[in-house]
Amino acid sequence: MTQSVLDIHEVTPEIVQVTMQDRAHKNTFSRQLVDGLLQAFAAISTNQRYKCVVLTGYDGYFASGGTQESLLAIYEGREKFTDTSLYSLALDCQIPVIAAMQGHAIGGGFVMGLFADFVILGRECVYTTNFMKYGFTPGMGATFIVPQKLGLSLAEELLLNAGNYRGAELEKRGIPFTVLPKAEVLNHALDLAQQLAEKPRHSLCILKDHLVAPLRDQLARVIEQEVAMHEKTFHHQEVKQRISTLFGK
């Protein structure tokens, strides 16, 4: 486990908090952070005491999506976002996952959080599916989970326009998530986790499996479609230029 970029903390014997804290990369999906998340959720899956995962970030960042280097690697054909199962960690997890998005969530970082069973946003924080800003179509399951969680009309706006939205604005647009001042997001998530922890673990697992089964069944097909769209949209010189000049702005 790469402790420097990821903190695993047992809040109680039944609740585990996973904190992404790659400060050097502002919680973009660096190799260290990706490996840490994969290892953390693998370990969580073997612990029969856990009933809930709280996934959160540090300070003003929840998760910031792909690194500039990884995006350029996809452009060059050396990588695909499907090289790891990062995008579906929360969906695949047996127990409920709460995404406490106390900071900005950008691109694949926002999408990863939307795969959680519970989503809590910060009013002051920026949320964006900014794939098209760089000229390539969305990946990470975004074309599937964003409409599922936010509704088709708002999802089309977020995905096609690739704009930045504060949590307060999304709250006004009627998103079905709790939106709080960012300083209150994690505590609310922990309160919710405690409520979940009062339930029997086997019942939580069985009910989650039932509720998310349609999502799991459809996701693989959508991922294939997103990869096919990447083959058509990612390998253009304009995309390379946009990644090189616009990344982080």
Q: Find how far residue 201's CA is from the centre of its chain.
A: 24
* Given the residues 188, 230, 235, 236, the one annotated as active site: 230
Q: With both helix axes pointing from N to C terminus, report the angle between 142-150 and 201-233 in degrees, rounded to the nearest 10.
A: 130
In the chain the beta strands, taken as DSSP E runs, fall at 6-12, 15-20, 52-56, 61-63, 97-101, 104-106, 118-122, 126-128, 165-166, 178-180
Catalytic residue status for 230: yes
Contacts of the segment 222-226: beta carbons below 8 A, 24+ positions apart: 222/141, 222/143, 222/144, 223/82, 223/141, 225/143, 226/81, 226/137, 226/138, 226/139, 226/140, 226/141, 226/142, 226/143
Catalytic residues: 230
